[in-house]
């Protein structure tokens, strides 16, 4: 898949990793369409990147996702790739009384159900393209969880599993299925994360990840070096060690 010549829809492209990837792909020649739930940051991103196009979208609203898919494919019949980047991470206290199940519902709806719904809505359109791609964004926490973000970690483990199955199911079609698994990156995903000295700088992550995504042979997984200890923790017998680093006693 030549992403530099693609027309790419990126959900959550108005901030963080999504905006970084959107700008990097646009600079390589791709036609980039972004969505965002926050109208102000969406407008600011579009103003800063005049070649991009934007739509306000709440990916947790199933009806909105369906109608949006109809609209965006009508507006952009050349659309042939989607990057499911929109996501949330909320720190949880499982011992709280009562435990806040609203966080659970919102996290699963955003991180898991939204990509499934949007893929389902776009799939007939993408199957008619000579070349197409579906890209999911999981996390290093899909492989070694962060226990105070247990629903986030579980949702990313689920999207990893779903991506593997989707890739197999689409193996005889024109659609390439790719998973990007970021490590801890310096963004505003959680309070203070952008200033965390342990986080990978956003610019460095985007540069390495987009270079991998745009390789001559499209990878099944985009894995920057920083995430490999998490991705390979079980295979290398280091799960306990990495788990302890992420979740100190």
Residues 159/143, Cβ–Cβ less than 8 Å: no
55 is catalytic: no
* Residue 201 per-residue DSSP state: P
User: Residues of 197-227 as b/e, b for ≥16 C-beta within 10 angstroms?
Assistant: eebbebeebbebbbebbbeeebeebbbbebb
CB atoms within 10 A of CB 82: 26
- Six token digits for residue 222: 């985009």
Cα separation, 56 vs 37, in Å, equals 6
Q: Which of 159, 43, 237, 163 is nearest to 34 (CA)?
A: 43
Residue of 152, 180, 223, 224 marked active site: 152
Taking the C-alpha atoms of residue 110 and residue 14, their distance in angstroms, rounded to an integer, is: 16
Active site positions, annotated: 152
């Amino acid at each position: 898949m030549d992403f530099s010549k693609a027309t790419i829809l990126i959900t959550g492209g108005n901030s963080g990793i999504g905006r970084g990837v959107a700008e990097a792909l646009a600079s390589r020649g791709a036609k980039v369409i972004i969505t965002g739930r926050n109208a102000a940051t969406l407008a600011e991103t579009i103003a800063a990147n005049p070649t991009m196009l934007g739509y306000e979208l709440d990916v947790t609203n199933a009806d909105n996702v369906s109608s949006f898919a109809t609209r965006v494919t009508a507006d952009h019949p050349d659309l042939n790739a989607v990057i499911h980047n929109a996501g949330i991470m909320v720190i949880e206290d499982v011992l709280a009384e009562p435990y806040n199940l609203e966080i659970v519902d919102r996290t699963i709806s955003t991180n898991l159900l939204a990509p499934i719904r949007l893929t389902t809505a776009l799939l007939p359109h993408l199957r008619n393209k000579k070349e197409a791609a579906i890209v999911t964004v999981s996390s290093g926490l899909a492989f070694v969880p962060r226990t105070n973000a247990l629903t986030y970690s579980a949702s990313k483990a689920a999207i990893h599993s779903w991506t593997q199955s989707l890739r197999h199911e689409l193996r005889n079609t024109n659609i390439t299925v790719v998973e990007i698994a970021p490590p801890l990156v310096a963004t505003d995903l959680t309070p203070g994360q952008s200033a965390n000295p342990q986080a990978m700088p956003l610019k460095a992550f985007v540069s390495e990840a987009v270079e991998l995504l745009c390789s001559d042979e499209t990878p099944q997984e985009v894995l920057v070096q920083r995430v490999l200890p998490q991705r390979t923790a079980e295979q290398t017998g280091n799960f306990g060690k990495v788990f302890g680093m992420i979740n100190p006693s």
